[in-house]
Amino acid sequence: MKRTAERILSIIGTVFTGISVVLGIAFMSFINVVKSDSMMMQDFEKEMLAIDPTMTPEDLEVFTSVMGFMGGIMWLLIIGLVISFILSILGIVKVWNNSNPKLAGILFIISGVLGGILSLASILLYIAAILCFVRKAPIAEDSHFLNDQYDDTMRPL
């Protein structure tokens, strides 16, 4: 059975997930460069104080610690995206070979959840998973009894 729709939707979803991984890693690398450069951090603190003169150095410390915490969460999300990318590639292989479409559907659902519950890539993977579950292979007819080699009285049940 051809599973063209599942293939196309899963490939597009995987490409979007891969783009998200690359952009996430680039963004976090930029943030790490900014955090490691003391000159840039001092400029950032000066700009924050210039924007809000009521801000105290303790407020700046809290702000930078929250940014550090958010950086850790971002790395966790990027790891989830990488796992999602790998699982969706495994699902594509299963659909492409038509070996186990049910397993491919399960992999697509897990990949969609890890990739972001309501992102475009996840929605495409959910649709591909539903198609993997719903579409059944056509039932092959037994051609042995289609040709009329038996007379009507001696036909097997």
Q: What is the pLDDT of residues 42-69, one digit of tens each?
A: 888 888 888 888 888 888 888 888 888 8
Confirm whether 47 is domain-assigned: yes
Confirm whether 140 is domain-assigned: no
Does the pLDDT value for residue 23 go beyond 90?
Answer: yes
Confirm whether 148 is domain-assigned: no
SS3 label, residue 126: helix
Distances (CA, A) of 16 to 3, 97, 103: 20, 22, 22
Total number of domains in the chain: 1
- Amino acid residing at 29: S
Confirm whether 146 is domain-assigned: no
Higher pLDDT, 49 or 141: 49
> What is the pTM assigned to this prediction?
0.78
Domain boundaries, position 115: 4-134
Confirm whether 144 is domain-assigned: no
Helices 57-97/120-134 angle, 10° precision: 30
pLDDT above 90 as % of the chain: 52
